[in-house]
Every structure is written in structure tokens, then in C-alpha cells.
Amino acid sequence: MPKVRCEEMLPHELVAARDARPVAYLPVGRLEWHGRHLAWGNDAVKAHGMCVRMAEAIGGVVYPALYYGDDPSAIADLHFPNGEEISRALGVDRTNFALPEGGRDWRLYEDLLKAIFWEIERYGFRVLVVLTGHYPLKGPAQQAAEAYTKDHALKIIVMIGVDQIGDLGFKGDHAAKWETSALMALRPDLVDLRRLDGAEEPPLGVMGEDPRGASAAHFEEGMRHIVERVRVQVEEALK
């Protein structure tokens, strides 16, 4: 199968992939607690894996995942009801999470995204799919996309991924059934459900259906529908 990860492509491979389908994918996420059983970087790892699946099926090039630059208050340790328990589990002083003066601020993140949009567009891509593995990033990413496309030809589609198939009964969550199923399929080496054995109930920092009901098959079924629905959007944007 041809390469789809742009950082691994030789120049002629990048040119061929872009000329065949001038579509880029930008996965974004952040580093935060995802239960005791999932990798710290779940959001971006998941988003990147989903983008790779899309590019392999639809065509195009996947850019490296973005982990940094977002509002520092938008993490589980701060806004989850049991955030203090997460801090204790990490052995971290709660005061380390004190917000900077002014509190929530997405300006840096939006500016960073717009700079990435420009880098992608200047290499000849006409459509960009931004997949926000960390759900709070969708709003700021959409705002950055709307601001950027006022003065540029690049067409930008912002999504979470699972939001494309809510009508089919699939639900987004935090380290629960969907996200655990995603990593089971995409990076099984980053999942260890045994870490939940004998731990607190419900699992700490998990929001949604019990992750012990997750399966790679659950994700694969949902991903198949996501790819087909994104394909329709990409084809329309390329017209």
C-alpha cells in the first residue's frame, strides 16, 4: 500500500499522492489522563490512526499529529468532577494546574492552526480534514478554519470522527467504550484493561460506557461508516 504519512514520504511520493488526490488530513489532540488503561496521548494517537485509515481509503496525505498549543484548562485533571483524584493518582501537586492570568485562552491555538493551514495549502493541497481527537478542540479548530478560509482557497472540514456516526448509535466518550475500542484496533499495544482490575469503580477519569465492553470490532464497524461519510464530504469539497 502506498505511503500516506507525509513525514515518511520522499519528495516524489508526496507529489504523486497530492496530484492524485489533493487532500490533507491533520489530526489534533493533547496529552492527558485517559483512565488507567489507555495511553496518555490517546487523543492524538487515535486521531492520527483514523486519518491514516481515511487516507488509505480515500486518498491524500496525513500530516503529523499536533499535541500542543491549546487552552491549558481544557484537560481532564481540571474540568472532570474527580480531577483531584486524577492528580493524586499521578502524584502531582494540584497547584501545578493553576491557570495563567486571564484563564481560558484559545488565541495561541487558533494562530498555530492557521499557520499549519497555510503550510499545507502552499504545498498545493485543496482540501484539509482536521480531526480533533480531543473533543474540546473542535470549536477552536472550527473558528480557526472559518477565519482562515475567508481569505484563502483551501477548503477545511473539521470533525471529531465519531460525530459523523451518532445517528448509527455510536457515542463519543472519554476513555470509555469508543475510545478504548479505537486504540484496541489502531494501537493495541497502548491498551491494558488489566490496569482496571481491582481499581476504583467506576474507573477513574472514564466518562461513557464501561471500557471493559470495548472491542476492536466495535471501532472497525464505526470506522467503516466514518470513511464513507467523509468520502462524500471530500468529493463535494473537491468539486
What are the pLDDT digits (tens) for 216-225?
Answer: 999 999 999 9
Residue 220 parent element (H or E) = helix 216-238
pLDDT tens string 155-198 = 999 999 999 999 999 999 999 999 999 999 999 999 999 999 99
- Which three cell numbers mark 216? 476492536
Residue 180 lies in a domain: no
Rounded Cα gap, residues 174 and 190, in angstroms? 15
Residue 53 parent element (H or E) = helix 42-58
Q: What's the domain range around 160? A: 6-164+226-238
Tell me the three state secondary structure of residue 219: helix
Residue 216 buriedness (CB in 10 A; 0-12 / 13-18 / 19+): middle
pLDDT tens string 130-157 = 999 999 999 999 999 999 999 999 999 9
pLDDT value at 4 more than 70: yes
Residue 171 lies in a domain: no
Residue 188 lies in a domain: no
Q: Is the dihedral of CA 111, 112, 117, 123 positive or negative?
A: positive
Between 118 and 70, whose confidence is greater? 118
Residue 127 lies in a domain: yes
Residue 78 lies in a domain: yes
How many CA atoms lie less than 13 Å away from 179 in the CB half-sphere? 33
Per-residue model confidence (pLDDT) at position 74? 74
| Cβ(115)–Cβ(12) below 8 Å | no
Residue 79 lies in a domain: yes
Between 80 and 33, whose confidence is greater? 33
CATH label of the domain that carries residue 75: 3.40.50.10310
211: which residues sit within 8 A by CB, 6+ positions away? 35, 37, 38, 175, 176, 177, 179, 180, 193, 196, 203
**Number of domains present in the structure of the chain:** 1
